[in-house]
Amino acid sequence: MNLTQRDAEVIWHPYTQMLNSSPPIAISHAEGCYLYDENGQRYIDAVSSWWVILHGHSHPYIVEQVQQQLKKLDQVIFAGFTHEPAIALAETLLSILPANQQKVFYTDNGSTAVEVALKMCLQYWYNKNLPRKKVLAFHNGYHGDTFGAMSVSGRSAWTTPFESHLFDVVFIDLPVAQNIEDLKKQVTALSNSLACFIYEPLVQGSAGMIMYGAEELDQLLAHCRDCGVLMIQDEVFTGFGRTGRNFAADYLSTVPDLMCFSKGLTGGTMPLGVTTCTQHIYNAFLSADKLKTLFHGHSFTANPLACTAALASIQLLLSAETQHHIQRICQQHQTFAIEIASHPKVKEVRQTGTILAIEWLAGDGTSYFSGLRDLLYRYFLDHHILLRPLGNIIYILPPYCISNTDLAYIYQTITDALHTI
């Protein structure tokens, strides 16, 4: 019995439990931007294994650092104790974030980083005995799969079974030049009851790589600041170079009150989540009254191995070599975007930094459940490329180590698919 057969008997895979779905591909090892299955077939990991791999699989520097840490300290409770990797990571991360970010709260993943940010904001007002309980968010956003994160995400088929259990959220449109004044008026009208505004900056990933302008977002954030609305910037996806700069925050003049990170935080090696906040928010919990405590923690909070991996990944991110690779990928994407934009089967091409999305004209419209999705996914796998279309939207989000040769092959395969399918 091979790995895939064994796997199918015991594991429930996300998005593959439908009748007649293809069995999962058993991957035996990975290196750089390549995945290798149990039969020795090689695939280009063009989506960074769900957006987490930054520098390539099994990067030797991260591996070395984690191995050294494993010999010293593998895990310790993070209540009443601390350790060097957690301290060093917090100091390093804060040094490259907006200057107002002063405190770090560790969790396990992107959803829990968002849950903590929401709880911080809601309890901030509770601790101050002020009645601000409403949450503002964008239509079609995605912030995770736990209940709080689902509540502030766009309502969809993903959330329908849980609709009655989600808390109410005020949803608004993405800001553009034509609606920015109306959005400001909505915020003003709600400001006395708004606890916070949560948003994905510049790119709504799971919604289909929907992209919008920094200028309009800046205007909306500045107005939220004027109205005293706390802002949660969810950089779980956009952080660590994906937008062409270290953070989407680097495009904005107005800084958020809280920020959320995961995915590429450890270079994709292991789970870790981070929520950062201002000193002002932290002070609302600093009290002799134990009931003002933020009662939230996880067994593996600030795991030393994960913190070590994250610190090593950030060191690689800040290197001149990685920054060069990020700009190289941006330039390659820009060139291909221009070449493909006029194709009759292409509805729209969108690009921000290392993120390139191609919206394919489909008879059933733009939808995550477009019939094109499975055809495209299978086509790219048959050509040894891992691309997971969001319905009829193809996106390329490669590790920074990918070569121009591999990028050219991906681009050519997409072009061939447009002529073939």
DSSP 84-97: HHHHHHHHHHHHHS
- Residues β-bridged to residue 61: none
Which residue in 194, 198, 197 sits closest to 134, CA to CA? 194
Quickly count: other Cβ atoms within 10 Å of residue 91's Cβ.
Answer: 11
Classify strands 230-234 and 258-261 as parallel, antiparallel or unpaired: parallel
Contacts of residue 368, Cβ cutoff 8 Å, sequence gap at least 6: 156, 157, 208, 390, 391
Answer for the pair 332, 404: CB distance below 8 angstroms, yes or no. Answer: yes
Band (196; pLDDT cuts 50, 70, 90): very high
| pLDDT tens for each residue of 372-420 | 899 999 999 999 999 999 999 999 999 999 999 999 999 999 999 999 9
pLDDT in tens, 74-89: 999 999 999 999 999 9
Tell me how crowded residue 157 is: count the other CB atoms within 10 A of its CB: 9
Query: Considering only the top CATH level, what class is 73-317?
Result: alpha beta
The CATH number of domain 3-58+321-420 is 3.40.50.150? no
- Largest CA-CA distance found in the chain, in angstroms, rounded: 68
Please give the radius of gyration of the chain, using alpha carbons only, rounded to the nearest integer: 22
DSSP string, 335-383: HHHHHHTT-TTEEEEEEETTEEEEEEP-TT-S-TT-THHHHHHHHHHHT
How far is it, in rounded angstroms, from Cα 194 to Cα 178?
A: 24
Confidence check: pLDDT of 18 > 80: no
Structure token digits, residue 137: 């968010």
Residue 146 confidence (pLDDT): 95
pLDDT (mean) for 307-312? 98
pLDDT band at residue 14 using 50, 70 and 90 as cut-offs: confident
Q: How far apart are CA 278 and CA 224, in angstroms?
A: 16
CA nearest to 113, candidates 303, 224, 271, 226 = 271
Which part of the chain has CATH 3.40.640.10? 73-317
Neighbour-count burial of 160, counting CB atoms closer than 10 A to its CB (0-12 exposed, 13-18 middle, 19+ buried) = exposed
Mean pLDDT of the chain: 95
210-268 per-position pLDDT tens digit:
999 999 999 999 999 999 999 999 999 999 999 999 999 999 999 999 999 999 999 99
Q: What does the angle CA 201 – CA 272 – CA 42 come to, to the nearest 5 degrees? A: 90
Two structure tokens written together for 183: 């959005």
Q: Which residue has the tokens 């294994």?
A: 49
Share of the chain above pLDDT 90, in %: 90
pLDDT band at 158 (very low <50, low <70, confident <90, very high): confident
pLDDT at 20: 60
List CB contacts of 228: < 8 A, sequence separation 6 or more. Answer: 191
Using the predicted structure, report yes or no on whether residue 17 has a pLDDT greater than 80: no
pLDDT at 364: 75
Neighbours of 357 (CB within 10 A): 24
1 has pLDDT over 60: no
For residue 370, what pLDDT is reported?
79
In this predicted structure, the answer to whether residue 365 has a pLDDT above a threshold of 80 is: no
* DSSP 8-state code for residue 163: G
167 pLDDT band, cuts 50/70/90, is very high
355 and 51 Cβ atoms separated by less than 8 Å: no
SS3 230: strand
> pTM of the full predicted structure?
0.95
* Residue range(s) occupied by CATH 3.90.1150.10 in the chain: 3-58+321-420
344 pLDDT above the threshold of 70: yes
For residues 26-53, average pLDDT: 97
Residues of the chain above pLDDT 70, percent: 96
Q: What is the pLDDT of residue 11?
A: 76
pLDDT at 15: 66
- Bridge partners (DSSP) listed for residue 385: 44
Cβ neighbours around 356 below 10 Å, total = 27
The residues, any chain, with a CB within 8 Å of residue 205's CB and separated by 6 or more, are 51, 142, 237, 238
Active site residues: 15, 142, 234, 263
Distances, alpha carbon 103 to alpha carbons 18, 141, 283, 348, in Å:
43, 26, 10, 40
